[in-house]
Structure 1
Amino acid sequence: MSTLTTKLRSDIDKLWTEFWTGGITNPLTVIEQISFLMFARLLDVTETRNEKRAARTKKPFKAIFGPKQQHMRWSHFKQQKAETMLKVVRDEVFPHFRELNGGTTFAEYMADAQLMIQKPSLLVSAVNMIDALPITEGDAKGDLYEYLLSKLTTAGINGQFRTPRHIIRFMAELVEPKPTQIIGDPACGTAGFLVGVMQYLLETHTSPKGIVKGENGEKVYTGDLLEPYREHIQNGMFHGFDFDATMLRIASMNLLLHGVENPDIHYQDTLSNSFPEKFPKQATGGFDVVLANPPFKGSLDESDVHPSLTQKVKTKKTELLFVALILRMLRKGGRSATIVPDGVLFNSSKGHAVLRQMLVEDNQLEAVISLPAGVFKPYAGVSTAIVVFTKGGKTDHVFFYDVGADGFSLDDKRDSVKENDLPDALERWRKRSAKTDTDRTANHFMVPVGEIREKGFELSINRYKEAKQVVVKYDPPKEIIKRLREIEKDIAKDLSALEGMLQ
């Protein structure tokens, strides 16, 4: 449940409108600029915290701001007049961002950071608004950023940027990540999946005593049982890659505001030749869990793709190459839940067929969960499915589930509705059994691997589903004829009466 108050939402909406009226209309740019300013504030908060600790412990620390840079701190420049503030932020604070190295993952993406705000009055509004936001308070800061990111959906930005939060949560529940594992996303966008895993860990590793009440009476999970794993969570657990620098800034800020201070987020096309060269550990066998919704952007130049992928699946289609890539990134026994377009399940091209055979024969394909076509609206009406698989192992049976509703209307509005199959899908998944899940007329069942082989490794649920046979009872033919004769008599009678009226 969101900890955002109505006032906070309204404040963010107001700030958003000010950006638009100030001439900054691209939603990604708005979020990026707000991220920069949040980062400036968080740097000052960190510096103040370090100063207090140093005063207490009498131990030195590496300062973010030198003696001559104090005027560049948030607490200082926020008090300046509009013109001076714009000058300091544009000409000094942003260049200082670029010089930061180490200490924060966010610093890596500041090489080309620019203040797009030209109007002094807009900067003052943005600084005042961000100063009032609870970005130092537990859960509220994460929810606040989620609310900002939801603007990407309403603004109709390309679907690769944002997977709905409830679908991410569902996928995390399917693979049940552990706090000791290494988690990756090869096309991380705004880091929704990595944040989703962090939230899942907090909820599943909080003792009854660790659940506290938030300002609005909601449950806040402190994750007190994660204490032994803190170092790993902060520095070694989360890895994301994308080749959009704006996305990476937003992803880093998203993780930072959800309590992951030093995630491993990099600018990288993971399908390319340079991925194994630059990141050998992550590119091959580096992950226990991969959660992803890779872009389905059609074809790309085969010469750019690393040969280890095209040797396995000869194709230019990104949706197939990403599944092959995820298999390469997983360690043996590692698991993934990945969203694929429906065509991956049944398309008859050689590349499609080879990939499906590889999933079934060389690995353990565990589940194919079909999602309704409207899940990614308003920006895409494409039909998709979640495939769950383990690298290596052996496929015996595959669990199929046909999700008809996900708790939201399947039109562009995506309003909340009562119908939601996801909780049932999760329960059936956890209780799945090849002995009992045999009813092919139901919306879920298990299919033995032998049958999948026979059907050419097709993975569409409709290939295995059986229509419900409804026995229709008809009256005896003599009864029907008798009724027809009576109807005929009535018609003849009415025609005679009509004729009489015309004479």
Structure 2
Amino acid sequence: MSENTSSIVSKVWNFCNVLRDGGVSYGDYLEQLTYLIFLKMADEYRKPPYNRDIGIPEEYSWESLKQKKGAELDTHYKKLLDELSRKPGMLGQIFLKAQNKISDPAMLYKIIDMIDKEKWAMMEVDTKGEIYEGLLQKNAEDTKSGAGQYFTPRPLIKAMVECIGPEPMKTIGDPCCGTGGFFLGAYDFITSNYKLDREQKRFLKDKTFSGNEIVAGTRRLALMNLFLHNIGEIDGEPMISNTDALIADPGIRYDYVLTNPPFGKKSSMTFTNEEGELEREDLTYNRQDFWVTSSNKQLNFVQHIRTILKPGGQAAVVLPDNVLFEGGAGETVRKKLLETTDLHTILRLPTGIFYAHGVKANVVFFESKPASKDPWTKEVWIYDYRTNVHHTLKKNPMKYQDLEDFIKCYHPENRHNREETWSEENPNGRFRKFSYDEIIARDKTSLDIFWLKDESLADLENLPDPDVLANEIIENLESAVESFKEIMEEINGNRQ
């Protein structure tokens, strides 16, 4: 990191800490930075050598903010946010439902002054990206904000992208893109591994990525995150839609889908009944391209991803354990996925790596295939990175290096040239294959397969540190509580 970069990062973080003491959360600070940096960059693009009209009226320009202080600044800023939220394109999406969360005009003026001193349009992409990604991670760590459910750990994203190996001039979709982490991971991989010509650079910037995010604040952060990483145009159409991806087949087909669908099994909506009481109703999506109708959110996303992949398209999807073992609709979806795609790899993830607790998850890799009378899946290779693995977010977070052995076993260069690390002679090997016939013979076609012995159960000396053990207990309890909630909702729904 250059001295200038360090100085800018330090300034941004210092303001963050001051605002935290004044009751402003990371998320609120991040939103205000988004509005203000966008305005400053729009002002820079309006001038030579760019001379671009971004669509911001003169009375709500960056210059109009700089000229005001105190109560006048507070009033003007609120009106500016409201007016720009009505604009079309990316401009309107960035400012959609925008509010001023910095109640102290003096502090707001200082932040404006800090941003004004830098040339953001000319600043290195890595610098802008580092500032913004750092704040996104801090926001995810703030458990009260709930932002963690929109943030996938970056080491996991990097490993998933390495395995998929996206190529230039191909399209990448994410139907629930959160803050845009998978797009940035793929962008970094492509720019690091290929020497791109002008056409390829233009395609990467404007046509490679497309996604959905229904939460307005999260979508804003994603759009700004991409923009600061030189993806998309400041005066272009947003590449992230605000529509629910599950409602209908969008008609678009992608070469790759990398995604982490939102946690929580059920899709539901809350409404007020005739007695004025709040009721929840399960949401089901009646789509002809789906194999089964279900209110299970993850099962619906799996079916949707299968639809939007091109033949030969690759998917890497983070999914909770229940998708691998539950019966009914879950069994139907697994069978159809094994038949219509080559579901070739599952990575079992450890607990303690997500900012939302109570999550036991896996990464499922599959390749879309054309119609066939015979099942496309021949073998499923499973890498168990859960048994006897202990991570916590603060003391022992998962790093990219922890997943390098999985990437080596996955063999991205040619995944058909793999070798098991498990054998009768080496029962502790983490990489093992199972045939299609073996899986189909399992109860409910369960893909929740494990074979390693839990050493902590066999040998008290191998127990993890107390804080790690406590974290795992919390994960298990919260996972159980979520399951009980779903059962109670089911019972209450049946009573009604």
How do residues 108-123 of structure 1 correspond to structure 2 at under 5 angstroms? 108-123=93-108
Deviation at 1:84, TM superposition (A): 4.2
State the alpha-carbon separation in 1 of the partners of residues 210 and 290 from structure 2.
26
Distance 1:89 1:417, change over 3 A: closer
State the alpha-carbon separation in 1 of the partners of residues 141 and 114 from structure 2.
22
Map Cα deviations across residues 245-291 of structure 1 (whole Å, 9 max, x no partner): 1011111000000111245111112222xx44xxx333xxx211111
Quick one: which amino acid aligns to residue 88 of structure 2? Answer: N
Distance 1:409 1:396, change over 3 A: closer
Quick one: which amino acid aligns to residue 164 of structure 2? Answer: V
1:453 to 412, 433, 440: 440
How do residues 333-412 of structure 1 correspond to structure 2 at under 5 angstroms? 333-347=312-326, 349-377=327-355, 379-392=356-369, 394-404=376-386, 410-412=391-393
Quick one: which amino acid aligns to residue 360 of structure 1? Answer: L
State the alpha-carbon separation in 2 of the partners of residues 2 and 120 from structure 1.
32
Distance 1:112 1:438, change over 3 A: closer
Map Cα deviations across residues 109-142 of structure 1 (whole Å, 9 max, x no partner): 4343232333211211221233346643221101
Quick one: which amino acid aligns to residue 17 of structure 1? Answer: N
**SS of 2:256 mapped into structure 1:** strand
- The alignment yields a C-alpha RMSD, in angstroms, of 3.0
Deviation at 1:445, TM superposition (A): 2.0
State the alpha-carbon separation in 1 of the partners of residues 131 and 119 from structure 2.
8
TM-score (norm 2): 0.77
Aligned residue in 2 for 1:294: 261
Quick one: which amino acid aligns to residue 11 of structure 1? Answer: K
Quick one: which amino acid aligns to residue 55 of structure 2? Answer: I
Distance 1:461 1:409, change over 3 A: closer
Quick one: which amino acid aligns to residue 424 of structure 1? Answer: D
Quick one: which amino acid aligns to residue 354 of structure 1? Answer: T
Quick one: which amino acid aligns to residue 439 of structure 1? Answer: W
Aligned residues of 1:185 and 1:290 also touching (Cα < 8 A): yes
Distance 1:38 1:458, change over 3 A: same
Map Cα deviations across residues 456-496 of structure 1 (whole Å, 9 max, x no partner): 4321231xx3669xxxxxxxxxxxxxxxxxxxxxxxxxxxx
Larger radius of gyration: 1
Quick one: which amino acid aligns to residue 217 of structure 2? Answer: T
Q: Does 1:322 align with 2:321?
A: no
TM-score (norm 1): 0.76
**SS of 2:315 mapped into structure 1:** strand
Deviation at 1:151, TM superposition (A): 1.2
Q: Sequence identity of aligned pairs in percent?
A: 28
**SS of 1:117 mapped into structure 2:** coil
Aligned residues of 1:433 and 1:446 also touching (Cα < 8 A): no
How do residues 145-156 of structure 1 correspond to structure 2 at under 5 angstroms? 145-156=132-143
Aligned residues of 2:387 and 2:453 also touching (Cα < 8 A): no
Aligned residues of 1:202 and 1:226 also touching (Cα < 8 A): no
Aligned residues of 2:409 and 2:418 also touching (Cα < 8 A): no
State the alpha-carbon separation in 1 of the partners of residues 185 and 400 from structure 2.
23
State the alpha-carbon separation in 1 of the partners of residues 140 and 204 from structure 2.
29
State the alpha-carbon separation in 2 of the partners of residues 88 and 109 from structure 1.
18
Distance 1:329 1:199, change over 3 A: same
Aligned residue in 1 for 2:30: 31
Aligned residues of 1:397 and 1:434 also touching (Cα < 8 A): no
Map Cα deviations across residues 173-195 of structure 1 (whole Å, 9 max, x no partner): 11111221111111111111112
**SS of 1:376 mapped into structure 2:** coil
Greater mean alpha carbon deviation, residues 162-171 or residues 263-272: 263-272
State the alpha-carbon separation in 2 of the partners of residues 357 and 268 from structure 1.
29
State the alpha-carbon separation in 2 of the partners of residues 373 and 146 from structure 1.
23
**SS of 1:281 mapped into structure 2:** coil
Aligned residues of 2:256 and 2:315 also touching (Cα < 8 A): yes
State the alpha-carbon separation in 2 of the partners of residues 127 and 466 from structure 1.
56
Deviation at 1:419, TM superposition (A): 9.6
Deviation at 1:313, TM superposition (A): 2.6
**SS of 2:129 mapped into structure 1:** helix
Aligned residue in 2 for 1:52: 49
Map Cα deviations across residues 369-423 of structure 1 (whole Å, 9 max, x no partner): 111111114x3142111000111262121221112599x9712415457894311
Aligned residues of 1:98 and 1:113 also touching (Cα < 8 A): yes
How do residues 99-248 of structure 1 correspond to structure 2 at under 5 angstroms? 99-102=86-89, 105-132=90-117, 135-136=120-121, 137-138=123-124, 139-156=126-143, 157-158=145-146, 159-206=148-195, 225-248=196-219
Aligned residue in 1 for 2:494: none
Aligned length: 422
State the alpha-carbon separation in 2 of the partners of residues 100 and 300 from structure 1.
31
Map Cα deviations across residues 276-310 of structure 1 (whole Å, 9 max, x no partner): 4xxx333xxx2111111101222135874331279
Distance 1:116 1:339, change over 3 A: same
Quick one: which amino acid aligns to residue 243 of structure 1? Answer: I
Deviation at 1:428, TM superposition (A): 1.2
Aligned residues of 1:160 and 1:293 also touching (Cα < 8 A): no
Aligned residues of 2:409 and 2:419 also touching (Cα < 8 A): no
**SS of 1:290 mapped into structure 2:** strand
How do residues 20-99 of structure 1 correspond to structure 2 at under 5 angstroms? 20-25=20-25, 27-48=26-47, 51-53=48-50, 62=53, 64-65=55-56, 69=58, 72-75=60-63, 77-78=65-66, 80-91=68-79, 93-99=80-86
Map Cα deviations across residues 340-376 of structure 1 (whole Å, 9 max, x no partner): 01122223x2112111111111211010011111111
Aligned residues of 2:178 and 2:222 also touching (Cα < 8 A): yes
**SS of 2:422 mapped into structure 1:** coil
Distance 1:432 1:182, change over 3 A: closer
Aligned residue in 2 for 1:257: 228
Distance 1:416 1:346, change over 3 A: closer
